[in-house]
Structure 1
Amino acid sequence: MKKIFILILLIRIFLSLLPSYEVDLRGWRFWSDRMTTLGPANFYSREIFTDNPPGFLYVFWTIGEIQKNFLPEVQYGSVLSDLLLKFPSNLADLLTGFIIYLIIKKHKNQKTALTGFLLYTLNPAIFFNSSIMGQFDGSAALFSLLSVYFLIKNNRSPELSALSFAISWAIKPQSIVLVPLLILLTLTSQKPLRWLTAGFTFLISSLIIYFPFFPQNPLYGLYYVNHAMTGIFTCTSCFTFNFWGIFGNWKDDLINFFNLPLLYWGFILTALSFIPIFLFKPFLKRFREPFIYFTAAVSIMASFTFLTRMHERYIFPFFAFFLIAALLIKSRKLILFYIIYSAFNLLNLYFPYAYYNTELKLTPIFIDHLFRNFSFLSILGFVLFLILLVTYLKVINTRKE
């Protein structure tokens, strides 16, 4: 296992040499330098684009300090500098793969566990996001997986779950879609005192994460950063093949429909989709954990499908949860769906990557074709979600306890 881990890490490092998603990586370089130069207390500014939660800023800060103190000759924007910026995401993906390996090995065998590790770490959609584009969704996915894992392993720890979720949320606020799952899991598996300790752990952990950035009032920092982030983009679908993409790309979600902004219609549709997902049996104690991971995966895709302001990469945490469920349930159909949706998401990731990296002149005819068929691809994405939802309801209600 150790040799395979190292080999895949080397493959990831090699892939990291490919051109990055410059639109965002320029921001990562700037934030890394700003953290090193000004420190966390002076990082946020209303005058400069700094509307990112602090979770991953600690990583950028660390990388900036390494460059400043140990690699002063390395310039921001150089190949080595970008390798450093991408390395934590690559490592997070491998750690997520290792957790998948441990979960599967506990219930199945080493061969199946290794298959899970490889299906995740060598998933083109996963490594394209982290190794090539340079995004850090994988780090949030790692802690999202841990937040659920700590609630369903033998010696359940809602406090460790709350800590993991606080970190995930501080990296990517989109992790909030797991809140219904985590709350229901905690309520059905823990005594009331542990509900309180879990909530307290989450609050204190979040304040500690935000404190260096807002030393005078970290609670205000929680509000300021997350409120600012919600207003950055007001698109229904931000290059995303989902329900809202059926009606076009980058439409304003503040437009009213029956006197209600499309933004709120997204909340309503998501809440309605959660009813069949959370109404049934996964939260009864006698049920096995494959269904919990399945529930997490479907709830993530439901949010990705119906919420507005979704970017193509926000589906990232789905893959780890769904792969675990597919392998534990031992369903070839679910594994096939994992492969198909991975390819579909890879196409979705490539779309903005090629469009914004104009200097590379990547497949301009193909990109034009994607624009012209955006609604069709979004219909396909919506249909894939419906197939998943129907399959989930069938599995969750027919599998033996």
Structure 2
Amino acid sequence: MIKLNIIAILGVVCMYACYKPVCSYFRSVGQGRRKGGTTASSVQDKNIGLSVFIVISAAALLVRLIAAIIYRGHETDMNCFVSWSDMVFNDGFNTFYKSESFTDYPPGYMYILYVIGAIRSLLGMAWDSVATNVMVKLPAIIADIGSGYLIYHIASKRIKETGAAILSALYLFCPAVILDGAVWGQTDAVFTFFVALMCYFITENKLIPSYFVFALGILIKPQTLIFTPVLICGIIDQVFLEDFNWNKFFKNLAFGIGAILLIGLLMLPYGFHDALGQYTETLGSYEYASVNAYNIWTMMGLNW
């Protein structure tokens, strides 16, 4: 039975209450930029904006490192990540999905954990040490900073650099983002970075790089597939609707197939069938519309 969640509804109402004034501010900033100015003032604004972004990024990184040190994270997941880093480094990729251990993560992230396992082995980091804790959370922290830069880079082409830096700060200091990665130790920030990078390439009319970024995102976490319609819309717009010709069509088709082959190639060290089986098992293991996210499905009472 569908039931309305009052807290979720209030959250959405508050979000939309803030939406209009924030949009109005950045629209006015954008209009001011379009009016132009002297070259000297433009360069000065760019330098100030870049300096603001660097300070914001440094502060965001510091906050995340402190959080990673103070909080252990989600105990079960953190133990899994440390264990998997040891497994892939010590036993190799081929036995990972064949083992009796619980292994529900796709092969792409295991390459990252392999590097973590190698560093831990080289430096002699203990299983439950603070250093190991920070090391496991580091990919998500780096991805957060990378996504913050993407936001700044994209926005700075449309509004003033200072406004772009503020936009990046809204992401970098979002409590949910910090809690998910630096505190809990989840990996959502990593595949989110690849999704954001894919969207950036699409908006820059660079479809071919977006294929390979999308493929890497799928290898890291299958939730990347949720954003398939974004890539499809980009293909329809830039291949079929914008000066269609067969040369462009077959070029994009060839590179698209190449991206698919890249997925298969990076699965091979694990055993292709074992890695593919892991994907199908993972996709069918969470049969819920939402898992504790305050979105429209939770509002309708469809949370797990």
Tell me the TM-score normalised to structure 2 length.
0.74
Separation in structure 2 between the aligned mates of residue 134 and residue 42 of structure 1, nearest angstrom: 25
Say which SS state the counterpart of residue 63 (structure 1) adopts.
Answer: helix
Contact 1:159/1:197 (8 A) holds in 2: no
Contact 2:64/2:178 (8 A) holds in 1: yes
> Of 33, 47, 52, which aligns to 2:105?
52
- Label 1:204 to 1:94 Cα distance change in 2 as closer, same or farther (>3 A): same
Superposed, 1:141-156 pairs within 5 Å as: 141-153=192-204, 156=205
> Of 60, 80, 87, which aligns to 1:8?
60
Say which SS state the counterpart of residue 198 (structure 2) adopts.
Answer: helix
Per-residue deviation at 1:193? 1.9
Superposed, 1:1-400 pairs within 5 Å as: 1=51, 2-19=54-71, 20-45=73-98, 47-69=100-122, 71-72=123-124, 74-153=125-204, 156-190=205-239, 191-214=248-271, 218=272, 220-221=273-274, 223-242=276-295, 244-245=297-298, 246-247=300-301, 249-250=303-304
Per-residue deviation at 1:183? 1.2
Per-residue deviation at 1:152? 1.7
Separation in structure 2 between the aligned mates of residue 46 and residue 65 of structure 1, nearest angstrom: 20
Say which SS state the counterpart of residue 77 (structure 1) adopts.
Answer: coil
Per-residue deviation at 1:144? 0.6
Contact 1:105/1:113 (8 A) holds in 2: yes
Separation in structure 2 between the aligned mates of residue 234 and residue 5 of structure 1, nearest angstrom: 37
Contact 1:29/1:77 (8 A) holds in 2: no
Per-residue deviation at 1:168? 0.8
Per-residue deviation at 1:202? 1.8
Per-residue deviation at 1:209? 2.0
- Label 1:244 to 1:152 Cα distance change in 2 as closer, same or farther (>3 A): closer
The percent of aligned pairs where both chains have the same amino acid is: 28
Separation in structure 1 between the aligned mates of residue 286 and residue 60 of structure 2, nearest angstrom: 35
Separation in structure 2 between the aligned mates of residue 222 and residue 166 of structure 1, nearest angstrom: 15
Per-residue deviation at 1:184? 2.0
Q: How many residue pairs align between the two structures?
A: 242
Separation in structure 1 between the aligned mates of residue 228 and residue 160 of structure 2, nearest angstrom: 31
List gaps (5 residues or longer) in structure 1.
Answer: 251-401
Task: Output one character per residue of 1:176-197: Cα deviation in whole Å (capped at 9) or x when no partner.
Answer: 1111221121122023123302
Contact 1:158/1:194 (8 A) holds in 2: no
Task: Output one character per residue of 1:66-107: Cα deviation in whole Å (capped at 9) or x when no partner.
Answer: 0101x11x2112111010111111010001100110101111
Per-residue deviation at 1:205? 1.8
Q: 1:366 — aligned with what?
A: none
Contact 2:97/2:275 (8 A) holds in 1: no
Rg: which structure is higher? Answer: 2
